[in-house]
Chains A and B, each alone.
Chain A
Amino acid sequence: MKIKSSKTRWGALALAGVMAISVAGVASPAQAAKKKITIGFVVHVVGNPFIQQIIDAAKMAAKDLGVTIKVTGPAGAEGDAQLTAVQNMAAAGVDGIATSVPSASMVNGLNAIIKSGIPIVQFNGLGEGVNAPYVGEKSVESGRILGKMVLDKIGGSGAKGKVIVGNCYPGFPVLENRQAGVLESLKKAAGVQVVGPSDVKVDAAANFAAWQGLLAANSDALAMVGLCAPDVESIGKVTKAASNTKVIGGGYDLTAGNLEALANGSAHISLGQTPFIQGYAPVYILVDSIRKGIKINKPSFLNSGTEIVTATSVTEPFKLPALTFKNLQAMATSKTKTRKYYEPVVKGYIKDWKKNLKPVSDESA
């Protein structure tokens, strides 16, 4: 087709330029020709600080193991879009895929991929029925720990008053398990009245607004307990804005924002689920199993451990070296420090993954 108009010609050139920019970061065909193991890493949402910690660890594993890693995921958490991303990875010819499984509707599709010969390892979100190992925390148990720690801070079994519980993604199995553990612990105090669990949304702004509304409606609450990554930071900001120094804030994950809330005293407890292990281990397991011809097409569980953090103490799993709160804050913003710290886990617990795999029922025990 001849483009006679000069305006149209310039327009076409500009568009071609746009396309060129778009593919500028692409691996060259020459690189593709050199056969290297390629791992697909699919997350359920892009742009989340906690998920980014997992992605960073996965990339560290790929670098250590000398493999290529392709990271992708939907912009908004939706199982069907994520499954399509996994299927696209499989079609693109990766040798193995690590993926979180936030939705039951992904299960059949993932099993079809496993059946076709591409190994899969799950992380962070367990898909019940997926024929693959899962790397994650013991979700009910971590909920029990969080619930107990909050209860201890508000008076133990004799506590009397309201505790607000928020779930950013109702129905997400891992969160439902955490919730079950938290509620189980809170029940031990007959005088505690649970408000919720309320849907506090994943998006940072909506999460803040939800917690703000809950505190405004329950200004006499003794504690606020969240189950997701944005909660501790939001709870801290909300209690600070309301000048409420009495309410105890607790939740999950050790993002920079959450640690800041603990440091300034506006929140009190945050449990980590060791995102380093959740990112590193799946890649390691995939590469090791591919190189050694080990079949991993059965459900199993590798515990990523629970980190317990307050402003004054940090308890790490797997007999890792003691950390101060300041060390932890520094690690949250430094990939090099994080990698160095977890070296014993890489050389020990992750390297012996086969020995450390447990039945998948252990995840919710």
Chain B
Amino acid sequence: MSQSGAESGTRRFKLPEETSVVIALVVLIGIVGALRPTFLKPTNLLNLAASYAIAALLAGCIVFLLSMGEIDLSFGWILNLSAVLAGLSMIAGLPIWLGVLIGIFAGTVMGALNGALMVFMRLPLIIITLGTASVFQGVSLISNNSGSVVPTDERITQHIFFRALGGSIDTPVPIILIFVVLCFVGLHLLLHKTRFGYRILAIGSNPEAARLAGIPTKKIKIQVCALMGAVSGIGGVLFLGFRGAVDPSTGGQMLLPVVAAAIIGGTPLSGGAGTVWGSLVGAMIVGVIGVGVVFIGIDAVWGTLVTGLVILFAIGVDQIVRVRKRKAS
């Protein structure tokens, strides 16, 4: 029997799963913008996005781990050590692009180490990275002698890498933002359009079933951890170019906002699903909350409470829309 005319003529348009969190972001921007119209200036919004771009990039990658039912506590220190090694290489006289590659490679190796330890010790990644976080931080402190790494040589500071990321070259959209969005395109395609991505989601849904289905779960886990390390390394060199220096504490406080961005964006902690674009929106929500608190003039003492309440609000709006969508379908 053919389908009824009504059904075949009017296919229901399925909204992307990130719709709910985008609505939450728009509502938040609207509220802050209504209270302080200067917030809506395009320069402000772009600068806000640029400030949170690196955290957003890390959130986009941690979706891979969360989808697999794992979490990495060391990525902030991988970012730090990658930036330190890149910076020290450049200061030592190596070509800038080689320093950049060294930083990214170091991040990849650290991530792969996390993965290898997880697989061979048969422990969850969260436990492994409880230890490796301190190891990476320690190596960073030893490498930089507990001080900041600040390239001051004009050969470095006037290089296109630093000038482009640091904002010396005027562009309508900050270059770091363009780069991070391109990374997001790549991460989205990797998770949702490749066999690698499907395997990650399968492992997160049911690790035992995935193994029995012939998915090389150990290899995939190490690869995902290496990917997280590589992206953290990219984050590190981006930070070095963007800020022109890396401090002993850089990356140390990134865990909470990055994981929060991924979760607010719609990636469940339970694994089996994940949305890369959602984590970008989640990072922007975290950013809007941080900026909004300042724009509205909320005192520092109240700031933490307000931030928590607004995060609950954003999650609530997201949940309301999801429930409505589920009921409608």
Contacts and interface: CB of A to CB of B under 8 A. Distances in A.
B310 A22 contact: yes
Contact of B148 (A19, A40, A103): A103
Interface residues of A, number: 54
A264 interface: no
B169 interface: no
Nearest to A44: B249
A263 interface: no
A71 B293 CA distance: 10
Given A25-B298, A76-B252, A104-B148, A15 B306 contact: no
B245 interface: yes
A53 interface: no
A84 B290 contact: yes
A92 B36 contact: yes
Given A84-B51, A87-B51, A88-B291, A103 B247 contact: yes
A81 interface: yes
A46 B252 contact: no
A29 B141 CA distance: 48
Contact of A78 (B148, B252, B290, B309): B252
B243 A92 contact: no
A105 B244 contact: yes
B33 interface: no
B291 A80 contact: no
Residue among B244, B293, B297, B304 with the most chain A CB within 10 A? B297
Contact of A91 (B291, B309, B312): B291
Residue among A77, A103, A104 with the most chain B CB within 10 A? A104
A58 B70 CA distance: 45
A135 to B, nearest CB: 19
B206 interface: no
A43 B249 CA distance: 16
Contacts of B301: 46, 71
B179 interface: no
Interface in A37-82: 40, 43, 46, 55, 70-81
Contacts of A169: 249
Contacts of B167: 112
A30 interface: no
Residue among B239, B247, B324 with the most chain A CB within 10 A? B247
A77 B249 contact: yes
A23 B296 contact: yes
A71 B299 contact: yes
Contacts of B298: 22, 25-26
A176 B35 CA distance: 43
A50 B256 CA distance: 26
Given A76-B252, A88-B290, A103-B148, A26 B297 contact: yes
A107 B249 contact: no
10 contacts: A1-B324, A18-B316, A46-B304, A91-B43, A91-B47, A91-B48, A104-B148, A105-B244, A171-B141, A171-B249
Interface of B: 31, 35-36, 38-39, 41, 43-44, 47-48, 51-52, 141, 144, 146-148, 150, 166-167, 239, 243-250, 252-253, 290-291, 293-304, 306, 309-310, 312-313, 316-317, 320, 323-324, 327
Which 4 A-B residue pairs are closest in the complex by CB-CB distance?
A: A104-B148, A171-B248, A170-B146, A88-B294
